[in-house]
A and B are shown apart, each in its own frame.
Chain A
């Protein structure tokens, strides 16, 4: 059974960079047809897609966050990571990693999710 686990600091200071890692177990991050993504959810609000990456390094980003986001992959460790720079209180959220199943060129869905990790931006 595929499992994803987020890890990283739970508290980040304003203007600094948020860094999270997702470790994939029970399957290979190098599988074809799958991208790997980050989604966040501010307290009491809805889901927001941040971006996704293929094992080759190809990425898609949410345009609203693109200038501050970097997603990378380490196939040797079966991990992918998120960096979000210049954070503010508005970036406080539960951050989820998930597998994005690319069914076709015009269809993709998240079929496996991590449990999520709360990141608070505060001084």
Chain B
């Protein structure tokens, strides 16, 4: 089955740019979606279809996808961005939803 690989943790200082990667075989041919999950809360969609933002999500959140890596970029990081982030695709070869293992973003 299809596997998505994320780094367990990423740390960044306030005001800097955080980049969270999601690796998968030829992931550039798939549409990647990103969710933010804060402690005790349900996940929230922050980027869909590689780089689109749902209504209400700040422009600081952006995404890209090419080759074997998709990336969620958070610009001008704020303390409130500290959360777990998950990437997700639909694997049409097996008709499954696939999640990455998640990345804990720490704002220093």
- Residues of A near any B CB (own CB < 8 A): 37, 39, 46-49, 52, 60, 62-63, 96, 100, 103, 105-111, 113-116
Contacts and interface: CB of A to CB of B under 8 A. Distances in A.
18 contacts: A39-B99, A48-B99, A52-B97, A60-B96, A63-B94, A96-B42, A96-B43, A103-B49, A106-B92, A108-B90, A109-B48, A109-B88, A110-B33, A110-B35, A110-B97, A111-B48, A113-B42, A113-B44
Contacts of A47: 35, 37, 43, 86, 88, 99, 102
A109 B95 contact: no
B42 A116 contact: yes
B14 interface: no
Contacts of B42: 96, 113-116
Given A46-B102, A47-B99, A48-B99, A105 B43 contact: no
| Residue with the greatest number of chain A CB neighbours at <10 A, chosen from B33, B44, B101, B102 | B33
Given A63-B1, A106-B92, A110-B35, A46 B86 contact: yes
B30 A106 contact: yes
A114 B98 CA distance: 19
Contacts of B100: 46
Given A62-B96, A114-B42, A106 B90 contact: yes
